[in-house]
Chains A and B, each alone.
Chain A
């Protein structure tokens, strides 16, 4: 305990000294995220300094082992770091599918060489990853995917199409599910990593109802992938894919936490609620659920780190967190009234409220829909019968 208190005070002092003032302001929208990558775009110098300073200590991935670019922190230390960051409102220094999805999968299924090759550059924000799972014919029924990888001796030859690939047009590399056998549905899938700059890869952005284009159709036309970029065993990619999905769901469930702000929604909307008693009631009920969910989230992380969480618990968290986030934005829109409808005006910061409201509707679709999560909970946690 004494050690932890010492760690807390050192951490506090270090954060005070190294977290730039600009990085302690709440993020205004997605454009404030720092994604890193080969050709990174930084909003300002502070963003870069903050990412580099944290990466230097391994604190972009505090609980990964040191040899792979992590901070080597224990669960208790990691929790303290997060608490101390929250205390000063420090932003997440680096958003990345590499951190939240691929990294954990590599730590479990990657071979030593793959870990040493890919993990440190994720930790330092040097390579930006995208996720090639969904296809036009394989959404909820992901294992029905058709993109094929043919064994050509020293490499695989990949052909097919992915869809809804978030940030495919900005990503450097892709982790991709491919079919390497038609013998078995789940047992014919493999997990490949490859460079998006490879010959034969092309992307086409798709416009969302929010008006932005964060995701793409992604095409593979005779893409050559070296064999050492296969993760896990051939035809055993479904295990890797599912494990990664657990981590993706864990990340998405964080949506229910509204960026880590501990302020109640009603506090933020106070002035708009004064003469809206019915809405105020709805908001109060929402706040009960949101604060309770925050406790659930803390419990889930604690249990996860201690190896006590049920393996299907991320599905419950994803379901609850995303449904909550959608409710939050419905309330924000109702409180904003006609002003919240403005789409382009400067006053509305380019329609921030409306665009965010629309974006949240994807939360209960991406990473597996709410219906799919409920099915997983019913079968794997409640052990209800059926297919």
Chain B
């Protein structure tokens, strides 16, 4: 398969690009909800529109009423989301959660609502400042024919808006081990469940969740008891690849805005884009973005093919896209000069979003370390 978009995929990209630029623009969504102090940080109306466009069903198998497409297609939508900084539940609900519950009993209960854009899902894994899925300490003990959950989660994106939360808890082993983890799909109405939402630097919302003797049925289990690591890795790798695509979009959006500015802004009697010091930095950035885009597409294709090298490529993509987007937003703000530091200008919003995306599900260091380990050193 060639490493570029097929005709069908290019068509989806054109559709998604047009849709997101119109409906998902910074003005219409990010600023709109931010300036109103919205408790969700995104608009449910747009989420419904995502459903009408078919985006929410991209990764849902046809048998479950979805489109049965792959990570390449999900990434196409995410790149446009990144370009417009569109706040939406797409990444967590329609990519990570959907991938996580594939083939489980929970899918019958929750997928229809995601397909229709009526519900929002969250994924609760980390408990500390940095991404360490194997460090999960939250406990799940058998109770009746189900389980009783106790513990706390942090940095749960949209956790306060979610109707269902996919939670990683320990049914065996101890923190630091990959064995003994189990995933549960928990209804937000469950008694003993609490969510405290906080606004992050990029105006998105994340929650700290608490579980106090939360009782769930056996059919809330996603995957096998004690064998949650495999499902967790699968859903995380889908999510990480999705973030890489979103970051390629963030980087491209920031670069386009910056290159336009280099052509417009005049100093010393000429456009600042004539200065070679800036030209070369812009060209280097372009090169990095193209490479990040290729790595991300490769990871998506390998995931879609079920290739054994996918895991390595996912980490390469997340690390590369992360570093590249950070370069793009830093260069973006610097090359805008004073105006780049103002809230009124959009370039600073790219910087904030990039920081949040880097932190989610493993930053560039985490993934470079994973590349080293998977390569046997």
Contacts and interface: CB of A to CB of B under 8 A. Distances in A.
A17 interface: no
B271 to A, nearest CB: 5
A100 B320 CA distance: 30
B14 to A, nearest CB: 15
Which of A285, A371, A379 has its CB near the most chain B CB atoms (within 10 A)? Answer: A285
B263 A384 contact: yes
A299 B368 contact: no
Contacts of A292: 291-292, 294-295, 316-317, 320
Given A295-B297, A384-B259, 9 more contacts: A267-B377, A270-B377, A288-B367, A296-B290, A296-B295, A378-B283, A384-B282, A386-B276, A386-B279
A285 B323 CA distance: 10
A158 interface: no
B286 A381 contact: yes
Interface stretch (A18-26, A229-237, A302-310): A302-310
For chain B, what secondary structure do more than half of its interface residues adopt (helix, strand, loop), or is it mixed?
A: helix
Interface of B: 2-4, 259, 262-263, 270-271, 273-274, 276, 279-280, 282-284, 286-287, 290-292, 294-295, 297-298, 312-313, 315-317, 319-320, 323, 364, 367-369, 371-372, 375-377
A288 B375 contact: no
Given A267-B375, A292-B317, A382 B283 contact: yes
A322 to B, nearest CB: 12
Contacts of A270: 376-377
9 contacts: A280-B377, A288-B320, A288-B364, A288-B371, A292-B295, A299-B298, A316-B286, A374-B284, A377-B287
A95 interface: no
B372 A266 contact: yes
A291 interface: yes
A386 B317 CA distance: 35
Contacts of B368: 281, 284-285, 287-288
Nearest to B316: A291
For chain A, what secondary structure do more than half of its interface residues adopt (helix, strand, loop), or is it mixed?
A: helix
Contacts of B376: 266-267, 270
Contacts of A303: 2, 4
B278 to A, nearest CB: 8
Given A287-B372, A288-B371, A316 B297 contact: no
A378 B319 contact: no
A371 B295 CA distance: 25
Nearest to B285: A382
Interface string A160-181: 0000000000000000000000
